[in-house]
Amino acid sequence: MAEETLDEVEHYEIAERNLRIAEALLFASAEPLSSGDLATYLSEGADVPALMAVLEERYAGRGVTLVRRGDKWAFRTAEDLGFLLRREEQETRALSRAALETLRTSGTISVEAVEDAFADAGIAGIQTIGDERAVAFGAAAPEGGCIFGEVSADVLTVEIGGIIMDGGCLPAVGH
């Protein structure tokens, strides 16, 4: 009987340690993490979906909630409190080159995916043109000027420059 109690205590302590590690990784990561990303740092045989369910329950109704995006997990501001941070987000978030690089290497290039990457960075008014092979983009940079470039399976270019002649941000073809 005492041995069963010891096993239960040890199991509880390991689970709590895994929860703390997963929580820390999710808080520190700028990008959502997959079960595999998390499992790398957890004890062997850790049940990542069960751990995420516990964290999701613990954070339900709080200012920060655990959300699932596809097969990945991330902490996000509770939806009902997002309005409190909107102004600061628009001032401090930058377009993640890593987000665009992920699109390039994953093969999920599309106008919508590029626009989502800009929206996630709080950048509105993006101009895009392209298809599943390549997408050219341009948007007004938060500090002035323009961010423009292209994402394709072969290359990612991101440039910062001034507003072009017609007032837009996409490089003028042939100029």
Domain boundary among 51, 82, 113: 82
* Residue pLDDT, tens place only, 123-155: 777 888 888 888 888 877 666 667 778 888 888
Above 90 in pLDDT, residue 35? yes
More confident residue, 78 or 172: 78
Please give the Cα distance from 94 to 121 (Å, whole number). 6
Query: In whole numbers, what is the pLDDT of the chain averaged over residues?
Result: 79
Beta-carbon contacts of residue 133 (< 8 Å; ≥ 6 apart): 109, 152, 153
Residues 40, 112 within the same domain: no
> Is 47 inside a domain boundary?
yes
Number of domains making up the chain: 2
More confident residue, 5 or 56: 56
Residues 98, 62 within the same domain: no
Please give the Cα distance from 2 to 40 (Å, whole number). 33
> Is 103 inside a domain boundary?
yes
Residues 25, 49 within the same domain: yes
pLDDT for the residue numbered 92: 36
pLDDT for the residue numbered 88: 40
Q: What are phi and psi of 162, to 5 degrees?
A: -85, 170
> Is 74 inside a domain boundary?
yes
pLDDT for the residue numbered 19: 95
pLDDT for the residue numbered 106: 80
Residues 48, 97 within the same domain: no
Domain boundary among 82, 102, 127: 82
Please give the Cα distance from 94 to 162 (Å, whole number). 18
Residues of the domain holding 56:
2-82
Specify the amino acid at residue 52: M
Residues 72, 6 within the same domain: yes
More confident residue, 10 or 47: 47
Above 70 in pLDDT, residue 9? yes
* Residue pLDDT, tens place only, 80-98: 877 676 544 344 345 667 7
Domain boundary among 26, 49, 82: 82
105 band by pLDDT with thresholds 50, 70 and 90: confident
Above 80 in pLDDT, residue 71? yes
Are the C-beta atoms of residues 135 and 150 closer than 8 Å to each other? Answer: yes
Above 80 in pLDDT, residue 23? yes
Average pLDDT estimate for 148-165: 74
What is the b/e burial string over 21-33, where b = at least 16 CB atoms within 10 angstroms of the residue's CB?
Answer: bbbebbeeeeebb
Average pLDDT estimate for 13-39: 91
